[in-house]
Every structure is written in structure tokens, then in C-alpha cells.
Amino acid sequence: MTKPTQFFLSFCTLFFSIHQAQLKNTDSLYKTIMSKDSLFFSAGYNTCNIKKMENLLSDTFEFYHDKGGFEDRKKFIIDFKNGLCKSPETYQLKRVLVEKSTEIYPMYKDGKIYAAIQNGDHLFHENTGNHVEKLVGEAKFTHLWMLENDEWKLKNSLSFNHHPKQTTDSETLFDNDRSMESWLKENNIPALGLGIIEGGKLQQVKVFGDYKKGMPAPRNAYFNVASLTKPVTAMVTLRLISSGQWKLDEPLDTYWTDPDIAIDPRHKKLTTRMILTHQTGFPNWRWMNTDKKLNFQFDPGTKYQYSGEGFEYLRKALEKKFGKSLEQLAGELIFKPLKMSDTSYIWDQSMDESRFVTGYNEKGEAYPIEKIKMANAADDLHTTVEDYGNFMASVMKKKNLKPEVFQEMIKKQVKTKEDKYFGLGFEIYDLGNGDYALAHGGTDHGTHCIAIVLPNSGKGIVIFTNVDDGYKVYEKLVVHYLGEQGKKIVDIETR
């Protein structure tokens, strides 16, 4: 009997004899083995970091593959270097563990753990160019981890039941929760809120991951959506314009002048149009200036410069004229008509903190939750995927806007880059042949969000994440759900 055959028979005997000893995912050994798996694949296999892989392999490592046969440690490493990792800069394949498929069984001798068996499923994604990944295959695996000089080493690996697997219209990452969750974990995204708009209506809402570590996020989880606040403020204003209560090009000094710029005559030029198109001449925030005071950095209306201060200026003018807070105005004009009961500019007694998603930095460290008591027209809106998805669908359907106001909103008011413009409160992507997308993003500590709608096709997507680098999942999701139009948006954004 050959050595590989002897091993295989003894390995199977051990495997089937411990079926009742499966560990819970809260067990320390389970967590240790999962950590080793992550190092081996995420930090090694998926990035062609040969050194990290080698450090986890036993000197007597053996690999059994149902297509490629048997390999010892030396041959396994050589084949990996000369095969998948021949050109690391164009690495094509990525392995994703289907985490909930994992089973881990401890192995004992004289009452002490000396090894562990890991059993599970994994998926393989291929890079098809432009950073777009495609699910191409799946397989099962069984690993034997051994304690060698108090260190866990991978001694044997069985990889089997390999077969092609591709996403289709009926089987997508969105439909496959296990695949989505594994992909998000691979990208270190603690929580993802996803809303899909079809036919002008919000059709699907899902929230993946944890709102706090170890606590699965509910479908109605609250997210701080940062600058996705601005489109809501813009729509409050545009509805007032549609009802004849506010004017797009009326000088704002009729209602409000900031003390910091009161002696600068340029404040008399400021209008709502300039604010909604980011042409005020203001910095993003006054605290970015050395003296912490608001100032003009160029003449209003002459060029584009993104500014949260502009929206705050508009808020103060609106509140002065109507004698109501922005929260009240939004409640009357947006939140109540659209039944956005889980959306607010402020943190008050109605906020259910148990549903609020914690934000994290790239190291996985939590940011403190900011409980905003005064509305900011540009930042810190609290909302759910469902509420914001319905809001974006209403924008696309021109709800409660006069036709001429909607046309001003989607007009290319100022160019920000090739084929990209700002309208009134929304970015506009020119997709060619009269097609366009309306979009806005939101970025702050512990949050990265984006919302896109395609008025001509009635499609759209809302993406909320709770981590500093959550933007890294945008591209795949946008292309996946918006198809060719999504590819054009990505192409414009990445030029």
C-alpha cells in the first residue's frame, strides 16, 4: 500500500469517528483555526504572499486534489509559484470561504488536543478585468491542522468536488446570502446595507453583517449616511420651490448673512442654485481654515468646490424664513409623505439605539457613536436602507416636483470631470445617448455610502457600509446590479 493511500484511509477513519465532536463557533479553538484559515488564504493564497503560506505549512505537508493529484510540500509551493502566482500583479483567482459551511473537530491524545480537522466549502472568483470579479467555481475541502512545537501547522489538505459555478440572472451574489457574506468578510466589511430599485420602486432590501461585533444587523438597522444628507436637504428646498414658497435664484441675504462674511460684499451674490451646485466659493468646512472662520475662497458662481458649509448656510436661511427647524421642514415635506419613519437629522428620544450600526476604521476599531442634537443640512442623517431607497425612488419619479424644477435639478449646472457634472443637489453622470444617472455619496469616520438612480430605466442601487474603506465594494455591486450602465458609471469615476 502506498504512503498516500495509507494516509487517506487513516485520515478518513479519524474524520468519521469524531462527527459528534464538532466545535461551536464561539470556541477558542474554532476561532484559532478560522484565524489560520484566513492567514493561509486571505493573506497568502489570495495575494500570492508565498512566505506567509509557507510559514503555515508543516514540513511534512501533503496536498490531495481531485483534479491535480497528490503533491508534497515542495511540489505544492513550486506549482503555486509557477502557476497561479507566475504574474502576481495580474493574479486572477481568489478563494472565498463559505464561512457557515465550516465544521471544526478537535483531535485528542491522552486528553490533550494535538490536532484539528477543518471541513467546509469554498468559492473561487476570477478577475475578469477592471477589478470586476466573477464567481467561477466551488469545491469542498478538508484540512488537518497539527500542533507542532506549540504552533498550528497545516499538515494535510484535501480539496475535492471541484465544479464550475457561475452567476446567472437567477442566481446572483445578492440572492446567495452565504456567498455575499463570505465576500464581505473577505473584504473586511463589518456591515452592508443594500437596496435594489427596479421599475422605479424599491424591490429588495438586505442588511448583511453585524451592527455591533457578534450581533447580526437587522433589516431596519440605522446607518449614519454622512453626505447622503445633502440630497434630502436639496429635495426639501426643491419642493418649497415647486410650491412657490422659495426661489432658486433669490439672494439669500434676504433671510440670512453669516457674521463671518458680513463685511464681504460677495455674500449678496449667494443663491440657492449656487449652494445646491457647490459654487459658493466656501471651503468644505470653516474649521479647516486656520482661524476657523467662514470665508470666500473665490467669487460665488464662478467654479465648483464641494462645500458642506453651503448647505448649512441654506439651512439657516430656510429656518429664518419659515420659523421652523430643518427637521420640521423635512418631516412635513419628505419624511411623512414618504413614510420615512426611521429617518432623522437629529438624535432624539425616538431613536432606537439598539438598531444603530457602529462605525469602524480599517483596523476594525470602533468609533464612538455621535448623538447629534442639532440638524446639520450636509451631514449625519440617520436612516435605513428601506427609507433611503424609497426616497431615491421618489426622486426618480419626480414626486411633488414641478416638471420645470425637475429639469433644473437634472441640468448639468457645473462640470466636475469628464462626463460628470453637478445638478441641483445631485451628481450627474452622462452615460451617452441621452442616458444619465443621478448619484451622491457619503463619507465620514466609520461610514461609506452611495446612492445611484437611472431615471430612464427605473433602476437604482443604495449601498451603506460602516467602515472607513467601505468604498472598495462599490464597483462590483454597481456593475453587478446596474449592468452596462453601471460599467459606464465606474468607467467615468475611474478615469
- Interval 103-140: pLDDT, tens: 999 999 999 999 999 999 988 877 655 445 667 888 99
Check if the beta carbon of residue 424 is closer than 8 Å to that of residue 409: yes
Predicted confidence at residue 89, as pLDDT, reads: 59
* Residue 212 φ then ψ, to 5°: -140, 155
Strands 223-224, 382-383: pairing is antiparallel
Q: Look at residues 422, 404, 402, 403 and name the one whose alpha carbon lies nearest to residue 412.
A: 422
Q: What is the pLDDT along the chain (495 residues), one digit of tens a residue?
A: 554 545 444 444 444 444 446 778 778 999 899 889 888 887 778 888 888 889 999 999 999 999 889 999 999 989 888 887 877 555 567 788 876 788 999 999 999 999 999 999 988 877 655 445 667 888 999 999 999 999 999 999 999 998 886 554 434 555 567 778 878 888 889 999 999 999 999 999 999 998 888 888 899 999 999 999 999 999 999 999 999 999 999 999 999 999 999 999 999 999 999 999 999 999 999 999 999 999 999 999 999 999 999 999 999 999 999 999 999 999 999 999 999 999 999 998 888 888 999 999 988 899 999 899 999 999 999 999 999 999 999 999 998 899 999 999 999 999 999 999 999 999 999 999 999 999 999 999 999 999 999 999 999 999 999 999 999 999 989 988 998 999 999 999 988
Predicted confidence at residue 247, as pLDDT, reads: 97
* Residue 477 φ then ψ, to 5°: -70, -40
Predicted confidence at residue 88, as pLDDT, reads: 59
Handedness of CA 267, 271, 276, 277 (dihedral sign): negative
Q: Look at residues 232, 487, 211 and name the one whose alpha carbon lies nearest to residue 358.
A: 211
Predicted confidence at residue 68, as pLDDT, reads: 87
Check if the beta carbon of residue 447 is closer than 8 Å to that of residue 226: yes
Predicted confidence at residue 99, as pLDDT, reads: 61
Give the length of the chain: 495
Check if the beta carbon of residue 159 is closer than 8 Å to that of residue 66: yes
In angstroms, rounded to a whole number, what is the distance separating the alpha carbons of residues 456 and 482?
12
Contacts of 18 (CB under 8 A, 6+ apart): 105, 106, 107, 117
Residue 434 per-residue DSSP state: T
Half-sphere exposure of 434 (CA within 13 A, CB side): 2
Predicted confidence at residue 42, as pLDDT, reads: 74
Check if the beta carbon of residue 397 is closer than 8 Å to that of residue 221: no
Q: What share of the chain is helix, strand, coil (3-state, %, to 5)?
A: 35, 30, 35
In angstroms, rounded to a whole number, what is the distance separating the alpha carbons of residues 76 and 79?
5
* Helices then strands, each counted (H, E), the chain: 12, 17
Q: Look at residues 95, 86, 97, 92 and name the one whose alpha carbon lies nearest to residue 50.
A: 86
Torsion of CA 241, 244, 246, 248, to 10 degrees: 50
And the C-alpha cell for 77?
Answer: 509551493
